[in-house]
Amino acid sequence: MRISRVQSLLVLIAACQSITCAVRPEASRRLMDFLTSPEIAGREAGTAEVARVADSLAAMFAQLGLKPAGTGGYFQSFVAEAPRIDSAHTFVRLNFERNTVQKELFEATLGKGLFFFPKQGRSQVLEAPLLNGGYGIVAPELGREDYSPSMAKGKILMLSLGAPSDSAFRPGAVGFRHSLSPIKSRMAQENGAVAVLFVQAAGDASRLQKEIQTRQQDFDPRILQLPEAEPFPVLFMDSLLGARMQREYENSEGRVSASISVAFTMENPCTLRNVAAVVRGSDQEKASEVILVGAHYDHLGRRHGTYYPGADDNASGIVALSEAAEAFVARPPVRSLLFVCFDGEEKGLLGSKWLSNHPLEGGTVVAMINLDCVGRIASGPAPMGSPLQNDDSQITVFYSKQAPWIEEELAGVAGTESLKVSWSSQPVFYEFSDHASFHAKKVPSMFFFGGAHGDYHKPTDSPDKIEWDLLGKRIEFLIASLDRLGNMQRKLEFVEGEGRRRP
């Protein structure tokens, strides 16, 4: 059900009659309207429009009375490289070698049966033995290992998309995430492979087509990356080329090598900015323990002739962050609260990665709460390829398994009696948004998430669909959580070995 602006505002005001409510409906609405307006054009990192947003967020922090916490005032600036694919010099060659005589079996060039959707790029020419890694699923805990991890080192892996239909890896089954190509690629990289070539599984051409189509649609040719990026080439072959490749591999009994050339031209680098402000803790000693509240303010910008307002993703998180900042400025907890609006999340968590590698002065981050997509309720099936399952919870908190105290401490805080919270320390947590950068640094991390819906990363993620009363309740829960984290006696620990980092 959709409600009108006036109705939703009234609902929000009604929800805020209680004295504990810290949400300012009008300010929230204004901020949402500004962030999602056509002039802001979808807040793509590196654009003039997103620079305007950063300036406004800094002004907002100043107006609320928060102290600057960046490296230059409220800003933490960093430079991102801008590689662009050079299609003419991107190809895959398959070679057969016997008695040092090399025979080229075929060459595939970009756009002619070969597809490439990189999020990062650096020119590389790789020549390595090819290994058929089956479906590429390596999940010994679920009884399946399509290739031996020790065999993958130094190889180019040829992997089939999807999973056997009768397995524990099909959609909805316990191991579904292992059937997703990004997970397979990452496993391959972690096992020492140098590149991945995806082909279709026998008789599953529709899956390949769908995956290539979806990726083509979502592909952002304006890549931005941190200078320390280590790109890992992942390419897709259409069914014709893929079948040929598999045939040649079998005919030559595996004695084939592949050369992969991925080429990029480097355009002018651009400056991105995190916007950071602090509420200094009231306790002299404990103030050096910092709780980080983060939300990304960038979004997808303009694509296919239209702009992406990104109301839920992630104007909603910025609204929640601003309300929490306002709530604590006059009554700081004993620990410090650092509020950071991240740049470049949609380009690959750039802002949070940068901050996690370049900590700000004033203390050590002992816990992190990431707010991303907190303005809507989950509806319909989760987007294609999403490892998230929708249920009827009103907010999901994913948290570091190595910090089980998070659920123990926060499950009963104020606001939870009127909000159905679902708690999860499932591995899906580790890759979704900016919290991943801090979890990787062994900071106890939480991801407050409203749920998946059909407007995710679509131009239809518009402000009229924000559920204001629900967002208000989530903000109250956030504030109560920060109150607890900021004041509790218990040490905010990350206990190694408490959980596996990855499956």
Residue 200 backbone class (left: φ over 0; alpha: ψ -120 to 50; beta: rest): beta
Q: Which of 320, 335, 484 is nearest to 407 (CA)?
A: 484
Segment contacting Zn ion by CB under 5 A, of 117-125, 138-146, 261-269, 311-319: 311-319
What mask, x for binding Zn ion by CB under 5 A, covers residues 264 to 303? ----------------------------------------
Q: How far is the CB of 214 from Zn ion (least distance, A)?
A: 15
Q: How far is the CB of 156 from Zn ion (least distance, A)?
A: 31
* Per-residue CA distances from 62 to 57, 268, 290, 340, 388 (Å): 9, 32, 20, 13, 37
Residue 96 tokens read as: 């057969």
Segment contacting Zn ion by CB under 5 A, of 10-18, 305-313, 321-329, 416-424: 305-313
Instruction: Catalogue the E-assigned strands of 90-249.
Output: 91-98, 101-109, 114-116, 124-132, 138-139, 144-145, 156-160, 195-199, 234-237
Q: How far is the CB of 136 from Zn ion (least distance, A)?
A: 26
Pick 236 or 342: Cβ nearer Zn ion: 342
Q: How far is the CB of 118 from Zn ion (least distance, A)?
A: 18
Residue 111 tokens read as: 């756009």
Pick 198 or 354: Cβ nearer Zn ion: 354
Pick 313 or 467: Cβ nearer Zn ion: 313
Segment contacting Zn ion by CB under 5 A, of 28-36, 59-67, 308-316, 473-481: 308-316
On the 0-12 / 13-18 / 19+ scale of CB atoms within 10 A, 134 is: middle
Q: How far is the CB of 465 from Zn ion (least distance, A)?
A: 15
Measured from each CB, the residue nearest to Zn ion is: 313
Residue 488 tokens read as: 């509790």
CA distance 295 to 474: 14
Binding-site size, Zn ion (CB under 5 A): 1
Element (H, E) at 491: none
Segment contacting Zn ion by CB under 5 A, of 190-198, 230-238, 261-269, 309-317: 309-317
Q: How far is the CB of 453 from Zn ion (least distance, A)?
A: 12
Q: How far is the CB of 103 from Zn ion (least distance, A)?
A: 46
Pick 81 or 313: Cβ nearer Zn ion: 313
CA distance 42 to 287: 37
Q: How far apart are the first and last CA of the chain?
A: 39
Segment contacting Zn ion by CB under 5 A, of 50-58, 125-133, 187-195, 312-320: 312-320
Residue 64 tokens read as: 């609320």
Pick 70 or 344: Cβ nearer Zn ion: 344
Segment contacting Zn ion by CB under 5 A, of 130-138, 307-315, 407-415, 495-503: 307-315
Residue 333 tokens read as: 């907890």
Q: Which residues, including other chains, have CB under 8 Å from residue 37's CB and lie 6 or more apart?
A: 309
CA distance 47 to 344: 11
What mask, x for binding Zn ion by CB under 5 A, covers residues 341 to 360? --------------------
CA distance 466 to 356: 30
Residue 208 tokens read as: 């390949």
Q: How far is the CB of 186 from Zn ion (least distance, A)?
A: 19
469-496 burial: b if 16+ Cβ within 10 Å, else e: bbbbbbbbbbbbbbbbbbeeeeebebee
Pick 96 or 117: Cβ nearer Zn ion: 117
Pick 237 or 295: Cβ nearer Zn ion: 295
Segment contacting Zn ion by CB under 5 A, of 199-207, 247-255, 281-289, 313-321: 313-321
Pick 146 or 313: Cβ nearer Zn ion: 313
Q: How far is the CB of 431 from Zn ion (least distance, A)?
A: 13
Q: How far is the CB of 35 from Zn ion (least distance, A)?
A: 13
CA 48 vs. chain centroid, Å, equals 23
Pick 441 or 457: Cβ nearer Zn ion: 457
- Helical spans, DSSP H, in 267-404: 316-328, 350-357
Residue 499 tokens read as: 């959980």
> Is-contact 127 258, C-beta < 8 A?
yes
Segment contacting Zn ion by CB under 5 A, of 109-117, 306-314, 417-425, 493-501: 306-314
Footprint on residues 94-113 left by Zn ion (CB under 5 A): none
Pick 46 or 332: Cβ nearer Zn ion: 46
CA 497 vs. chain centroid, Å, equals 24
Pick 124 or 390: Cβ nearer Zn ion: 390
Q: How far is the CB of 346 from Zn ion (least distance, A)?
A: 5
Q: How far is the CB of 433 from Zn ion (least distance, A)?
A: 8
Q: Does 313 bind Zn ion (CB under 5 A)?
A: yes
CA distance 279 to 296: 19
Segment contacting Zn ion by CB under 5 A, of 96-104, 105-113, 310-318, 415-423: 310-318
Which residues lie near Zn ion (CB under 5 A)? 313
